[in-house]
């Protein structure tokens, strides 16, 4: 049961243009979402996150949008740079009104390639 889905295995973008990575989830208990970036042979690196009480969070070139009604989030990278080429994972957490978070549930990942 894939509760977090990234339906695009890969994305190719020209340097300077916008990269849009998408993620869908099915579990209504998820209320905190994160994006991680991963290079080969390394662990995932945290990029940006968003709580379900917001619909947008921005950090430099990275913006995450959350559409709760559609159970959909996206990561926008503007402008894209060749160094952004990596695998991007969407992840979700359930807090359910508690005060501590538990495990992350990850999507399958999207390979982003930014061409010079």
Question: What three-state secondary structure class fits 83?
Answer: helix
Of residues 13, 36, 64, 86, which one binds other proteins by CB under 8 A?
36
Site string for other proteins, 77-116 (x = CB under 8 A): ------------x-x-x-x---xxxxxxxxxxx-------
Identify any residues that bridge with 57 across adjacent strands, giving them in sequence order.
64
Pair 23, 64: CB distance under 8 Å: no
Separation of CA 79 from chain center: 17
In terms of phi and psi (left: phi > 0; alpha: psi -120 to 50; beta: otherwise), the region of 43 is: beta
Of 102, 115, 96, 110, the residue nearest 10 (C-alpha): 110
Q: How far is the CB of 99 from other proteins (least distance, A)?
A: 6
Does 32 help bind other proteins (rule: CB under 8 A)?
Answer: yes
Q: Which of 1, 42, 53, 97 binds other proteins (CB under 8 A)?
A: 42
Of 14 and 45, nearer to other proteins (C-beta) is: 45
Residues that bind other proteins (CB under 8 A): 4, 6, 32, 34, 36, 41-46, 49, 51, 89, 91, 93, 95, 99-109
């Amino acid at each position: 049961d894939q509760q977090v889905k990234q339906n695009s295995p890969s994305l190719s973008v020209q340097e300077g243009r916008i990269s849009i990575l998408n993620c869908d989830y099915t579990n209504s208990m998820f209320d905190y979402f994160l994006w991680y970036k991963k290079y080969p042979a390394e662990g995932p690196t945290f990029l940006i996150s968003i709580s379900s009480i917001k619909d947008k969070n921005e950090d430099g070139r990275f913006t995450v949008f959350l559409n709760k009604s559609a159970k959909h989030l996206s990561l926008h990278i503007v402008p894209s740079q060749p160094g952004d080429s990596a695998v991007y994972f969407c992840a979700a957490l359930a807090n359910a009104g508690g005060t501590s978070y538990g495990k992350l549930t990850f999507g399958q990942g999207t390979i982003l390639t930014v061409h010079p």
